[in-house]
Amino acid sequence: MTNKKIRNDKLLIRALNGEITERVPFWFMRQAGRYLPEYMKLREKAGSFLDLAYNSEFATEVTLQPLKRFNMDAAILFSDILVIPHALGQELAFRKGEGPVLTPVNNIMTLDALSMDGMHDHLSPVYQTISNLSKKLPTEVTLIGFAGAPWTVATYMVGGRGSKDQAETRLMAYQDRETFSKLIDLLINSTSEYLIKQVDHGAEALQIFDSWSGSLPADEFITWCVEPVQKIIENIRRVYPNIPIIGFPKGAGAKLKNYIKKTKVTAVSIDTSMSTSWVRSTIQPLCTVQGNLDPLLLVSGGVALEKAVYHILDHLKDGGHVFNLGHGIIPQTPTENVKLVSDIILNYRR
């Protein structure tokens, strides 16, 4: 595998690497999606969400849609964290109004039926989307690749669907530790290869989403969230030592400090619950932070929204900062509010 040079002069990459940039770069988690009428149109045309995600031509267009309206500093590959279990052989469907549905992998028999053999063939449309994007994106825009962290992906694999408390998966981790470890190891290996391939094809930064890391007790958080992500990052850095990697252990709270030290992420995404003054004093000295506007403020709009945006910009201006939300954009979000926030950030000077 060739060790390609990663461009490091783009605004977002400089900010991720700790530079206090002249302007704060920004993008929004789930910036391509149902709040955009042009997304709904293409999704309709594709049929299902998975048909959209696995159609490179459509996925390329969907990735570019938000940039045409709002001039973000990054495009995030349009795909989903659940393409990994799918590529390993687990059945997956997205049903209307129900979210993802998978045939549960919750014992050694169902786990042993999975394999990495056909994985990259299955994922080739995703790699094609990245190649397309790296040719089409404006030169100043950064292309972000992503994957789910092993714990979060495992919660869907074991439970067979999304859940509020991830109870089934926590139970499996307690009751059948050996099988659960084997599942996590499979996810560490497949996710490492997947992310390396994304960089091979043109991803310039990576984000690892651990959306459900907040449901684990402290010791289990180390075992199932910190250590697996640490191993993935070691594997990636062996091939790409300089690729910026953003970790997002949502709900980690005060455990975030140790997460940063152990995993050696380049930057962390911070969720809505974290106060900017705590982030400024405790997290920003360790690495660049990304966040953390409440997605509901983007739905609400008005004075409350403007105030919150300036509050975040003012509080985090003296350290590495990438403006983002504390979680993904909500489908009901008015596009005018996204435009308003984008314009404030584009005009703000530190």
Residues serving a catalytic function are 30, 34, 43, 80, 156
Give the N- to C-terminal CA distance of the chain in Å, as an integer: 41
For residue 57, the cross-strand partners are: none
Q: How far is the CB of 31 from ligand 1CP (least distance, A)?
A: 5
Q: How far is the CB of 33 from ligand 1CP (least distance, A)?
A: 4
Of 80-88, 198-206, 278-286, 288-296: span binding ligand 1CP (CB under 6 A): 80-88
Q: Which helix (H) or strand (E) element contains residue 25?
A: none
Q: CA quadruple 186, 189, 191, 197: dihedral positive or negative?
A: negative
Binding-site string for ligand 1CP from residue 103 to residue 142, where x marks contact by CB under 6 A and - marks none: ----------------------------------------
Contact 30, 329 (CB under 8 A): yes
Give the helix, strand, coil percentages of the chain, each rounded to 5.
55, 15, 35
Residues in contact with ligand 1CP, counted by CB under 6 A, come to a total of 22
Contact 256, 268 (CB under 8 A): yes
Binding-site string for ligand 1CP from residue 87 to residue 106, where x marks contact by CB under 6 A and - marks none: -------x----xx------
The closest residue (CB) to ligand 1CP is: 162
Nearest to 339 by CA among 133, 64, 68: 68
Counting beta carbons within 10 angstroms of the beta carbon of residue 315, is it exposed (0 to 12), middle (13 to 18) or buried (19 or more)? middle
Of 15-23, 26-34, 101-109, 224-232: span binding ligand 1CP (CB under 6 A): 26-34
287 lines the binding site for ligand 1CP (CB under 6 A): no
Q: How far is the CB of 52 from ligand 1CP (least distance, A)?
A: 7
Question: Which of 10, 14, 43, 197 touches ligand 1CP (CB under 6 A)?
Answer: 43
Question: Which of 146, 180, 221, 323 touches ligand 1CP (CB under 6 A)?
Answer: 146
Q: Hey, what amino acid is at 109?
A: M
Q: What is the β-pairing status of strands 205-210 and 267-269?
A: unpaired
Residues that bind ligand 1CP (CB under 6 A): 29-34, 43, 49, 76, 78, 80-82, 94, 99-100, 146, 148, 162, 209, 211, 328
